Each structure stands twice: as C-alpha cells, then as structure tokens.
C-alpha cells in the first residue's frame, strides 16, 4: 500500500477541496496517488464498482491526515453503494463527514454517486451537508446534476424539499444565468404558498429573465410583490432586459468557447429585441453540413436561437435554411435535435407553409423524445392536415391527440384552436385548471398582447378568441391580469 503524508495532494481538481491537501508530500507518492485516483474515477464512473473498491483500498493515509482519510472513506463508500452494500456505504459516508466536516470532496462524491445509482436520499444528505457547510461548492455544482436531483427529489418530504430549494436559491445557485432565475422563481412560488411574502421579496433581485419577470407580473398569486418587481423591471422591462443581456455577456466572455454560454447570449439579445447583435453571433456557428455534424446540443440551441432571430427579423427563408443545415447534418446520435426539428416545423406552420411542413413531420415523430415532445408533433401534424384542408385525415388523428392531452395541455389546446374546435378547447382548459403549471400557462396564453416568447404567433389568435368565452374570462380574472402596457416588451428591431 502507498502511504500518503498529504491529503491526496495530486488528486485532479474538484470543487473547493480544502487547503490542507496542499501540504508537502513526496513526489513519488503524489504521482502514485494521482494515478490511483484517476484509475479509481474511471472505474467508478464506468460502473466497475468492485474494481473501484479494490483501487480505493490501496490508499493508506497517515492517521493524523483527517482530510485524506475522509476522502478515501468516501471513495470506498461510493464503490460500496454501487455494489448495493448500502448500509456499509452510508456508514462510511457519515464517518467521512464527521472526520473532516469542512472537506468538500466526500460530500461532492456522495452527491454524484447517489445520483448515478438512483439513491436520491443519499444524494440529498450530501447536498444538505454542502448547503450547510460549504455553500461555495453548491454554487459550482453541475446544473444538469442539480436539475436531475430536483426532478427526482425524495418522495413524501415536501416540506424538506421546499426548504432545500429555497436554500439553494438564497445561495445564488446558478448565478446570473437562466438557471439562477428559474431557481429563484421556483423558491418564490414555494415561499408565497407558505405566506412568507418577505422571504419571497428577498429573491426578487435574482430574477431578470424577461419571461419569468412577465410571469410574476401577470399571476395574481404574486400581487404583493408587484411593486418591487415593477421597480426592478423598469418601463417595458428595459432594466430587466439590460441586466439579462449584461449577465449573459459577462458569462460568455468568461469562456467564449462554451457553446451553452453562446446560446444563452444569443437568446438574451433576441429577447431584448437586439436582433442585429444576436444575428452577428451567427459567425460563431458551423458554416456547413460537416461542421454541423459535429455540433453538440448547446451548439444546436445556438443555431436554434439564431434561426428564431432571423425569423423575427423577417428573414423566414434564411431561418428555415439554417434549421435545415443543422437538422439534416449526419449524426450518430440525433435525439437532442428533436427540439430543433420541432421548432423548425413550428415556424413553417406559423407561416402557413403546410406543404413544406408535411414531409418533415413523420421523420421528426421518429426521433426519440419526451412525452411532451411527442405531443407537440401530434399538434403540428393535426394542424398541418387542417391547414391543407385534409379534414378526414385530421379527424382520425384526434383520438390519439386527446388521449395524450395531459402530456402537454396548452399545445393540445393549440391544436384544437388551430382546427376551429373552440368548444372542445374550452372544455379542456377548464378541466385542466387544477394543474398549477397549466394555471400559469393559461394566464400567459390568454394575454391581450403578445409577451416575450419562443413560440410562433399562429396560436395567439385562437387563444384570444377563447378568452371571449365567459367561463374562461372569469377564470382568467381570478388567476391573473393582463401585463400593464407600461411593461410590455419592446419591439424587435434591426438596422
């Protein structure tokens, strides 16, 4: 076994490990421990848990080196959890936390392996420990990992789960990005449900994403916060939009090669109506099919957002060509492109180009996606057949469309409105208002004036007709209001 005098000083960098690990160690020991650690990580994340446990067992530390001992205990615990030796793993993780309470790596590893093995309660223990003891580490956690955790948080612990979401938001998790905005908005909703208006008010400062600001200003549940939100947003949301762009620019400039940061900046500029600046970033996109073939999902969203900006600038044909360049590029794994394929179809249907849309629908339907995505495709198929006057074919699609209404309620209503079936659309809307998520969407869709959106306007006219129904109007007035004209978003502009 290898004896280490330092707390694994040669380990690859992980979030906020303690400075204790930086104490001197012999070069041969450091090199050997680093190699063992890299081997262990490959084995662990390759789900070769027995091999990972054997590798971790080769590390032996000075009894006085509490941080190093805690790290190795966590490494062994992670492998044991993978081997479904849960009781041993939990005991070792607890020992690691007690041994070095301010050392972040044991908790970080526990959080990650808890997610990988679907032991969400194990991950929750680690996350709660990091929130309490090392908030800087929490702020740097991978967004996909945290999102996965929140979608699968422990069942039957609603109060505790809410407390955790509030704590994460108060830490400023996600920073000045859409992640931070949505985290703060979610926490505000929980606090308002608890009648903690003061607590919700403290989080207003974290939100500048225009669609979220609009939502807060039209949902009556947030009425006590309207003065603060309005002051922060400014006339026509100009303060919020400028803040969102400024945050996105800073975030992008820190790492301009990061495709996620690029797509966020493009969308911030687009939402702010600064289309010329959004379109100038088109030069960052692949220029041909070969380049698009190597695009990742975040680059795909960058292409998507430039395409939307082109469409808003009145350059619909260019928008479609750019979408086609991405969507037709050869890829081994294209499942993430389902969103871009759907959005291309959305614009074609919005422009009434049903003949052009029709041959794209079935290939899109075959791409693996979520139940929500599948229902969007059903909506587009249904509306396209109606747009082409092929009513009998559309009628055959209706039972399946309605069978999956709960997968995407608003898009299902879109489909009914597209076909002129306003009675059926009204029934579905009223029957679905017990769903809180749909309540918010209901108020937004029924606005008299269009708000900031990524959706085409083809659906807007139908929703405005729907609002003329007395029962719908009554529910709208109960749940929301029209965004005051002083806060309507600015017109999109180009030179």
Q: How far, in Å, are 277, 285, 288, 326, 333 from residue 292 at the CA level?
A: 22, 8, 6, 6, 13
Burial class (CB in 10 A: 0-12, 13-18, 19+), 175: middle
Q: Would you call 28 exposed, middle or buried from its count of C-beta atoms within 10 A (0-12, 13-18, 19+)?
A: exposed
Which residue, chain included where needed, has tokens 């469309």? Answer: 401
Residue in 125, 130, 102, 101 with CA at minimum distance from that of residue 115: 125
Residue 95: other Cβ atoms inside 10 A: 15
218 neighbors 481 (Cβ within 8 angstroms): yes
User: For the chain, what is the radius of gyration of the CA atoms?
Assistant: 26
Q: What is the pLDDT along the chain (495 residues), one digit of tens a residue?
A: 333 333 333 333 344 333 333 333 334 445 556 788 889 999 999 999 999 999 998 876 667 788 888 999 999 999 999 999 999 999 999 999 999 998 999 999 999 999 999 999 999 999 999 999 999 999 989 888 999 999 999 999 999 999 999 999 999 887 767 778 899 999 999 999 999 999 999 999 999 889 999 999 999 999 999 999 999 999 999 999 999 999 999 989 999 999 999 999 999 999 999 999 999 999 999 999 999 999 999 999 999 999 999 999 999 999 999 999 999 999 988 889 999 999 999 999 989 999 999 999 999 999 999 999 999 999 999 999 999 999 999 999 999 999 999 999 999 999 999 999 999 999 999 999 999 889 999 999 999 988 887 665 567 788 999 999 999 999 999 999 999 999 987 664 444
Sequence ranges of the domains in the chain: 1-136, 153-254, 255-332, 354-482
Among candidates 197, 199, 226, 200, which has minimal Cα distance to 213? 226
Find tokens 């030179």 and name the residue.
495
**Residue 274 per-residue DSSP state:** B
Q: What distance lies between CA 94 and its chain's CA centroid?
A: 31
Q: Which CATH class is domain 1-136?
A: mainly alpha
Q: Which residues contact 476 (CB under 8 A, 6 or more apart)?
A: 442, 443, 446, 467
Spatial separation of the C-alpha atoms in residues 313 and 111, rounded to whole Å: 45
3-state secondary structure of 403: helix
- pLDDT reported for residue 68: 87
Are 460 and 454 spatial neighbours (Cβ–Cβ below 8 Å)? Answer: no
Measured distance CA(469)–CA(28) in Å, rounded: 78
Place of tokens 């600015």: 490
DSSP assignment of 316-334: HHHHHHHHHHHHTS--S--
In the block, residue with structure tokens 């969102």: 244
Question: CA angle at residue 198 from 196 to 203, to 5 degrees?
Answer: 100
Question: What is the spatial distance between Cα 470 and Cα 479, in angstroms, rounded to a whole number?
Answer: 14
Show Cβ contacts of residue 235 under 8 Å, excluding neighbours closer than 6 positions. 486, 487
Number of Cβ atoms within 10 Å of the Cβ of 145: 15
Beta strands 2-4; 59-61: pairing state: parallel
Instruction: Output the pLDDT for position 428.
Output: 98
**CA–CA dist 462, 476 (Å, integer):** 15
**Which pLDDT score is estimated for 176?**
66
């Amino acid at each position: 076994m290898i004896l280490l005098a330092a707390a694994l000083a040669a380990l690859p960098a992980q979030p906020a490990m303690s400075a204790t690990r930086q104490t001197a160690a012999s070069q041969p020991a450091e090199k050997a421990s680093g190699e063992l650690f890299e081997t262990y990580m490959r084995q662990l994340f390759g789900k070769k848990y027995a091999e990972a446990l054997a590798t971790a067992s080769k590390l032996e530390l000075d009894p006085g080196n509490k941080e190093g001992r805690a790290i190795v205990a966590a490494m062994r615990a992670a492998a044991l959890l993978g081997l479904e030796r849960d009781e041993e793993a939990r005991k070792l993780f607890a020992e690691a936390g007690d041994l070095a309470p301010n050392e972040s790596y044991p908790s970080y590893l526990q959080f990650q392996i808890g997610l990988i093995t679907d032991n969400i309660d194990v991950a929750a223990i680690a996350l709660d420990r990091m929130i309490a003891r090392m908030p800087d580490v929490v702020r740097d956690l991978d967004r996909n990992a945290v999102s996965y955790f929140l979608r699968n948080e422990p069942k039957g612990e609603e109060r505790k789960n809410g407390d955790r979401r509030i704590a994460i938001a108060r830490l400023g998790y996600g920073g000045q990005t859409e992640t931070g905005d949505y985290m703060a908005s979610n926490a505000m909703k929980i606090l308002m449900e608890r009648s903690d208006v003061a607590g919700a008010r403290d989080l207003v400062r974290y939100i500048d994403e225009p669609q979220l600001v609009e939502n807060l200003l039209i949902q009556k549940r947030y009425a006590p916060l309207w003065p603060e939100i309005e002051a922060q947003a400014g006339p026509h949301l100009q303060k919020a939009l400028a803040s969102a762009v400024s945050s996105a620019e800073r975030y992008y400039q820190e790492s301009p090669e990061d495709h996620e940061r690029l797509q966020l900046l493009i969308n911030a500029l687009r939402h702010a109506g600064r289309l010329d600046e959004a379109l100038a970033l088109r030069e960052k996109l692949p220029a041909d099919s070969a380049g698009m073939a190597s695009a990742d999902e975040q680059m795909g969203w960058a292409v998507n957002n430039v395409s939307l900006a082109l469409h808003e600038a009145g350059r619909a044909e260019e928008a479609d060509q750019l979408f086609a360049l991405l969507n037709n590029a050869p890829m081994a794994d294209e499942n993430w492109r389902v969103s871009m394929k759907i959005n291309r179809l959305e614009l074609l249907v919005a422009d009434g180009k049903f003949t052009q849309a029709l041959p794209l629908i079935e290939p899109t339907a075959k791409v693996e996606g979520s139940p929500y995505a599948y229902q969007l495709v059903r909506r587009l198929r249904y509306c396209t057949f109606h747009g082409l006057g092929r009513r009998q074919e559309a009628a055959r699609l209706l039972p399946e469309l309605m069978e999956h209404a709960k997968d995407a309620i608003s898009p299902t209503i879109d489909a009914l409105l597209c076909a002129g079936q306003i009675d059926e659309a009204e029934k579905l809307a009223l029957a679905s208002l017990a769903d809180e998520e749909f309540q918010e969407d209901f108020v937004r869709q029924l606005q008299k004036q269009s708000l900031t959106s990524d959706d085409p306007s083809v659906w807007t006219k139908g929703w405005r007709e729907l609002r003329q129904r007395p029962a719908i109007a009554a529910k709208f007035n109960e749940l929301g209001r029209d965004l005051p004209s002083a806060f309507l978003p600015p017109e999109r502009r180009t030179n």
